[in-house]
Amino acid sequence: MNKNYSHYILVALLVAAPFVYLSTFYASLPATIPTHFNIKGEADGFGSKSMAFFGPVFIGIISLFTYLLMINIKKIDPKRYENNNDAYFKVFGLITVAFLSGINMVILAKTKQPDLPIDKLILPLLGLFFAVMGSFFPKLSQNYFAGFKLPWTLSSEENWNATHSYAGKFWLYGGLLQMILGFVLPGMWAFISFFIIMIPMVVAPIIFSYRFFKAGK
């Protein structure tokens, strides 16, 4: 099978998976279902059972848009970075689609079982996604759509590479820590620890990149 078509087929299967899962229990849903949950995982919004399709449709559209954006970066990137590795962007897009499909499945599982502890699923899944992104950061070439898009990283390939190599470690280990704590800590503490860990993951690479720029490198 042509590798290009295999990617499209895999994306289509990932987007379709939540619809297939929903079809297995849609008939058994009550007329009114929870449509929104607060930070404690408690239902605070309700609607008709047909609203169960909203998540798969909305997130499915975002998934397809993200994948198409990733595989067409060279065509739409303002600077047309010729050294962009198409294969990495395809995989990056594929991982994002898989993650969004996973989020979709978790939301549907919560719709099916309102007492399901959604925080024990969402936060570890987010942590895993950030860890995988961190492993890709050192391989990510300059572009306007993914990574730390700062004035000095976009104007200097050396700064971009150094920043994403540095950021990769923060995101890899930070994401793994978020995943572990998401499993072991109770709801509110899991959320608090998740966002505390997120701060250095975002701020430290920006500071590093700016100091790299100011050093004249």
pLDDT tens for 78-90 read 555 555 566 777 8
* The predicted structure's pLDDT at residue 204: 92
Clarify whether residues 156 and 189 are in a common domain. yes
Which residues fall within 8 angstroms of residue 56, CB to CB, at 6 or more apart?
Answer: 18, 19, 22, 104, 108
* The predicted structure's pLDDT at residue 140: 81
* The predicted structure's pLDDT at residue 173: 93
Q: Domain ends where: 68, 98, 115?
A: 115
Between 76 and 118, whose confidence is greater?
A: 118
Going by pLDDT thresholds of 50, 70 and 90, the confidence category of residue 36 is: low
Clarify whether residues 140 and 192 are in a common domain. yes
Clarify whether residues 68 and 41 are in a common domain. yes
Calculate what percentage of the chain has a pLDDT beyond 90. Answer: 22
Going by pLDDT thresholds of 50, 70 and 90, the confidence category of residue 217 is: low
Clarify whether residues 53 and 126 are in a common domain. no
* The predicted structure's pLDDT at residue 3: 57
Tell me how far apart the alpha carbons of residues 46 and 204 are, in angstroms, rounded to a whole number: 40
Going by pLDDT thresholds of 50, 70 and 90, the confidence category of residue 131 is: very high
Q: Looking at the predicted structure, is the pLDDT value of residue 150 above 70?
A: yes
Q: Looking at the predicted structure, is the pLDDT value of residue 34 above 90?
A: no
Clarify whether residues 16 and 108 are in a common domain. yes
> pTM for this structure?
0.77
* The predicted structure's pLDDT at residue 44: 62
Clarify whether residues 168 and 72 are in a common domain. no
Q: Domain ends where: 99, 115, 131?
A: 115
Domain count, the chain: 2
Q: Domain ends where: 115, 136, 156?
A: 115
User: What residue numbers bound the domain in which 193 lies?
Assistant: 117-217
Clarify whether residues 7 and 111 are in a common domain. yes
Tell me how far apart the alpha carbons of residues 47 and 31 are, in angstroms, rounded to a whole number: 8
